[in-house]
């Protein structure tokens, strides 16, 4: 099992249903201004059931969805078969398959993934994410704070640490805000999210 994916395969069907129930704008309204309108290359790391990847595809972007949990990846391929999405089995902190491809992206999405990595893994992961960004590209991250299911491997990660790691890779901070959860049950439980956007220098 890939570290950080604990608890996902066992609840894949339920999670896919929850992911698909929230619109892209409902999840990502605060970062929409940083996303390109012209057709671009998009990488969704930890794509889950592919809800975000499908939205990008619908907007005309070329999309690669990296998801290490087999059951979620297969669910996404079935749910969004009509969309042009390239699915791959890859995961942080290494993203080994993507690194071998040496491909650059205009947008890298990292939604509800970063807090699954322990500190040393986050230190290894940030340079790999930065290496995937084309000049002027953006890295869009959401990081969970607050109570979490016991079966999940989740760490409390400060914005300051993430911003410092990005800065060490020469990424410029464009946004750092805290928002409520888009899911009602999580809002009631007190879950909040950090929304972070970093840019690769042009």
pTM of the predicted structure, to 2 decimals: 0.90
Q: Which pLDDT value is given to residue 190?
A: 79
So what's the pLDDT on residue 94? Answer: 95
pLDDT at 116 over 50: yes
Strand order in the sheet with 105-111: 85-88, 62-66, 41-45, 105-111, 133-145, 192-199, 172-180
Mean pLDDT over 133-138 rounds to 98
* Confidence at residue 7, expressed as pLDDT on a 0 to 100 scale: 45
Q: Quickly state the pLDDT bin for 10 (edges 50, 70, 90).
A: low
Quick check: 9 pLDDT over 60?
no
Question: Where are the chain's structural domains?
Answer: 9-199
CA gap 180, 117 in Å, rounded? 22
**Segment 109-130 mean pLDDT:** 96
Q: Which residue has the higher pLDDT, 7 or 75?
A: 75
Instruction: Report whether pLDDT(42) > 90.
Output: yes
Residue 145 · residue 195 · CB < 8 Å: no
Q: Which residue has the higher pLDDT, 140 or 18?
A: 140
Report whether CATH 3.60.20.10 matches the domain 9-199: no
pLDDT digits 0-9 by tens, 152-173: 788 999 999 999 999 999 999 9
- Per-residue model confidence (pLDDT) at position 12: 46
- pLDDT given at position 17: 62
């Amino acid at each position: 099992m890939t570290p950080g994916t604990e608890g996902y395969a066992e609840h894949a069907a339920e999670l896919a249903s929850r992911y698909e129930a929230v619109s892209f704008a409902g999840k990502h309204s605060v970062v929409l201004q940083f996303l390109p309108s012209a057709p671009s290359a998009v990488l969704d790391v930890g794509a889950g059931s592919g809800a975000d990847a499908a939205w990008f595809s619908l907007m005309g972007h070329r999309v690669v969805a990296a998801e290490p949990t087999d059951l979620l990846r297969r669910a996404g391929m079935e749910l969004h078969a009509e969309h042009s999405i390239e699915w791959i089995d890859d995961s942080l902190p290494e993203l080994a398959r993507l690194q071998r491809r040496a491909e650059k992206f205009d947008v890298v999405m990292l939604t509800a993934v970063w807090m699954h990595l322990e500190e040393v893994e986050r230190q290894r992961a940030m340079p790999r994410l930065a290496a995937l960004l084309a000049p002027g590209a953006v890295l869009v991250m959401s990081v969970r704070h607050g109570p979490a299911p016991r079966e999940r491997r989740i760490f409390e990660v400060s914005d300051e640490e993430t911003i410092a790691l990005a800065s060490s890779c020469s990424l410029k901070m464009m946004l750092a805000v805290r928002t409520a959860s888009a899911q009602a049950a999580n809002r009631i439980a007190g879950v909040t999210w950090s929304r972070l956007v970093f840019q690769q220098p042009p």
